[in-house]
Structure 1
Amino acid sequence: MTPQQKIEILQTLIHIKSVNAHETDVADYLASLFAPYPQAQIEKVPFAPGRDNLVVTIGNPAGPQLGLSGHMDVVAAGDETAWTHPPFGGEIVDGRLFGRGASDMKSGLAAIVITMLEFLEQGTPLAGSLRLLATVGEETGEYGAATLTDAGYADHLAGLIIAEPSGLDQVVYTARGVIDYKVVSTGVASHSAQPENGVNAIDNLMEFYNAVGPLMAKYTKTDPVLGGLLHNVDLISGGEQVNSIPAHAELMANMRTIPAYPNQIIYDELEALIDRLNQEPGVQLELSYSYPEEAIPGDPQAPLVQLAKQISDDVCQHETQIVGSGGANDGAEFLRAKADFTSIEIGPGSDTSHQVDEYIELDDYLQAIAFYETLVPAFFAQIGQSSKRQ
């Protein structure tokens, strides 16, 4: 495949407006690229109408299986008039390809797809199988990865590479988890001149607000890479008008967890607080969660981590750092699978993810393909050597 053909695949992906939905359009396009190869096993796995995950498996089924993963959704472009380059145009200027998802993460997705296509095109013998796990809904909750994990598509992985835009000079081996939660307070409306006839939902919600901060602050352990537990109440709303006692109020909070505190510890604390406050007269609070993700502990000395660093050093001619990430990724879901494997994050990107005029350097994009094409056979060789030693 020529460099121009590789660039055109990425441009086509940018043209597809998979903004928090419509991932099936991406899945169909990627599936069409594999369709000429009968040895490629292609499966679409639905999450919702218009939202199909894509799984493509190639190589030797008798050997170990390596997963290559990327998400097909992108965040909204926002005010498109603020863009110098159309967000879904895929324009190339001065060696940069612009568009929503150019960095996060259609360049990484295209790179792993092209890696597999080139192995097929060239008839490259593989000592194991490669499995593409192209997911929906990563930007809003990793529910595509959850769907694939629950369906068993990660149960036989020996390793997983997620092509998120870490930059090729960083191997991410550990990541924070996420807990987004909502508390809804239900009261009784009345005229503000007669508050005794009502129950103020805002007052009751503020009881939770004033208690939850100190409760979370007692978790003082810090991770040497990720830092400490983070808790922020980011949205509060309530009431109908200024002269009425409010019957409804709610807040939403975002937490970034660390491996030292599994999410269940936090759930238990929040639920116990809600239960205690609900014992008070007139208090009616309800707690719910939105797609929580566990932190990824990881091991910087894991063979796949060290191998990815070595390959990146050699292919990209730079010093690759082994780091952690403050953001969650699909690996948190895939690691729930039955298999015991290492998940890493490494892929092309720029510091413009989710921003106006998001872009990828084409040199970085093409270099990522060379990196993955070198890493895959090296991974299978590493597994083979390990098996012989055992």
Structure 2
Amino acid sequence: MKETKSPAVRVAEFVDAGELVALTQSLVRIDSVYRPGTADGNEEKVAAFVRKYLTQNGLTVHYEEVVPGRPNVIAFLDSGVPGKTLLFEGHTDVVTEGDLDAWTYEPFGAQIEDGKLYGRGSCDTKGNLAAAIAAVLAVKRSGLPFKGKLLLCIPCDEEGLMIGIKDFIKRGWAKGVDGAIICEPEENQLCITQKGAIRVIIKTFGKMAHGAMPLTGINPNTRMARIIVELEKLEEAEKRRLGKHPMLGWPSITPTILMGPVKGEPQINVVPETCMTALDIRTVPGQEHAELKKQMEVILQRLEAEDKDFKATLEVIEERPWTLTDRNDPVVVAIADAYRTITGKEPEYNGVPGATDGTFLHLEGIPIVTTGAGDREIPHHVDEYVEIDELVETAKIYAAAALNFLNG
């Protein structure tokens, strides 16, 4: 008796590996580093390319400018049958290529060698964006029945303040979405949790003085040093309280910038008037951001009570909560089953060490899972690459997951 292939297997057969590689190369060859004030200083060219490509392939496409020169692309494949909506998200921007002389391969050349496709964004995340597009087109071309809609969210500015995904949500596109696959390089591991982030600016204020007569002034640097020591103690207390998260590791409070004075030129024989430190705080499940901010404010209040010349301010400039999706959520189950179907192996579950656009989708109540091709440690590196075999596998997993999720 002839064995009948499952819909997940059949739809994966419609992923065209050659077309997928060519699309990835085309995307990588478009420099979409955000460079303010230059002709190529945004994601506009790559977004225009994606819009044309999707339109030519029969999808319903929307093109929306977030700020001048920085558009989002949104595309639908609608079955015409009532059902759920599954979102695939992959951003168009990439980080700077840095020192060109450090690269072996042309950063925007998309060269293929030994089964690897090289170039800035090949791994993070233009390869996975191409895989999501290939998956949606595979569903379309297969003619296999499905319910509901597939939604491609292709935003700008994931590497910055994530204005693209915020605009996508603000315009109402996230309403009615039942699950989201965040297309990022995770070695096809299924990441069901991710760290949160709090970006903080702390300033201390003193009185400018001669370095030979420091007592005639007030040194903001020594006051900042006390704050940093107390923050290190807070970090250690949080580590003891929470332990090491099995997927995300340790929570952290990291001073990344230390500057004094805040304005003007520093000079070795001058006590500055101001000092600033920037904190990159990464949180894990079990940490409440409001409580953490309160503890930092208490530190400043205590130091102020101990020193009549102590004056400091704390400002949160960006906040992204940690996320956690239950392993039994339909979107996780759908992609886990797809992984088993395509690879014949059990999926490996993990967490994302940083934040993604999925953070803000999670805030809208959308269950998310982050997965895609690419070595987790390669993004932002010189000679960034993605392995072609893994990329093809990813597109097939995405396609199978789409049918699994929409057809239950």
TM-score, normalization by structure 2: 0.86
Match of 1:286 in 2: 313
Does residue 1:296 correspond to 2:310, yes or no? no
**Gaps spanning 5+ residues in structure 2: where?**
1-14, 36-41
Q: CA deviation digits over 1:231-272, x for unaligned, max 9?
A: 222322224212111112111222210110122221222233
Does residue 1:322 correspond to 2:349, yes or no? yes
Does residue 1:252 correspond to 2:278, yes or no? yes
Q: Contact conserved, 2:191 with 2:370, CA < 8 A, in 1?
A: yes
> CA–CA distance in 1 between the matches of 2:213 and 2:295?
36
Does residue 1:348 correspond to 2:373, yes or no? yes
Return 115-124 or 156-165, whichever deviates more. Answer: 115-124
Does residue 1:208 correspond to 2:227, yes or no? yes
Q: Contact conserved, 1:19 with 1:73, CA < 8 A, in 2?
A: yes
Amino acid at match of 1:234: T
2:248 equivalent among 226, 230, 247: 226
Does residue 1:171 correspond to 2:196, yes or no? no
Matched positions, count? 378
> CA–CA distance in 2 between the matches of 1:74 and 1:359?
13
**Gaps spanning 5+ residues in structure 1: where?**
383-390
SS at match of 1:218: helix
Q: CA deviation digits over 1:24-73, x for unaligned, max 9?
A: 222111110122356x3322333322211221122136321111001111
> CA–CA distance in 1 between the matches of 2:403 and 2:185?
22
Match of 1:130 in 2: 150
> CA–CA distance in 1 between the matches of 2:268 and 2:54?
61
* Pairwise CA distance, 1:82: 1.5
SS at match of 2:187: coil
Amino acid at match of 1:332: T
Q: Contact conserved, 2:335 with 2:398, CA < 8 A, in 1?
A: no
Q: Contact conserved, 2:334 with 2:402, CA < 8 A, in 1?
A: no
SS at match of 1:154: coil
* Pairwise CA distance, 1:141: 3.5
1:69 equivalent among 89, 105, 118: 89
1:50 equivalent among 69, 86, 96: 69
Q: Contact conserved, 2:77 with 2:149, CA < 8 A, in 1?
A: yes
Does residue 1:269 correspond to 2:295, yes or no? yes
Match of 2:200 in 1: 181
Does residue 1:8 correspond to 2:22, yes or no? yes
Return 246-255 or 87-96, whichever deviates more. Answer: 246-255
Match of 1:18 in 2: 32
* Pairwise CA distance, 1:187: 2.0
Does residue 1:149 correspond to 2:169, yes or no? yes
* Pairwise CA distance, 1:119: 3.5
Q: CA deviation digits over 1:194-249, x for unaligned, max 9?
A: 33432211122122112222233322213343344222223222242121111121
**Structure 1's 110 and 155: CA in aligned 2 closer, same or farther, altered over 3 A?**
same
> CA–CA distance in 2 between the matches of 1:299 and 1:289?
29
* Pairwise CA distance, 1:15: 0.9
> CA–CA distance in 2 between the matches of 1:101 and 1:125?
34
> CA–CA distance in 1 between the matches of 2:183 and 2:320?
19
Amino acid at match of 2:28: I
Q: Contact conserved, 1:111 with 1:368, CA < 8 A, in 2?
A: yes
Q: Contact conserved, 1:73 with 1:136, CA < 8 A, in 2?
A: yes
> CA–CA distance in 1 between the matches of 2:66 and 2:301?
34
Return 228-237 or 358-367, whichever deviates more. Answer: 228-237
> Matches of residues 353-372 of structure 1 in structure 2 within 5 Å?
353-372=379-398
1:117 equivalent among 137, 142, 145: 137
> Matches of residues 23-42 of structure 1 in structure 2 within 5 Å?
23-36=43-56, 40-42=59-61
**Structure 1's 370 and 56: CA in aligned 2 closer, same or farther, altered over 3 A?**
same
> CA–CA distance in 1 between the matches of 2:57 and 2:107?
32
SS at match of 1:105: helix
Q: Contact conserved, 2:16 with 2:134, CA < 8 A, in 1?
A: no
> CA–CA distance in 2 between the matches of 1:331 and 1:6?
24
Amino acid at match of 1:133: C
> CA–CA distance in 2 between the matches of 1:203 and 1:125?
67
* Pairwise CA distance, 1:347: 0.7
> CA–CA distance in 2 between the matches of 1:37 and 1:3?
16
Percent pairwise identity: 26
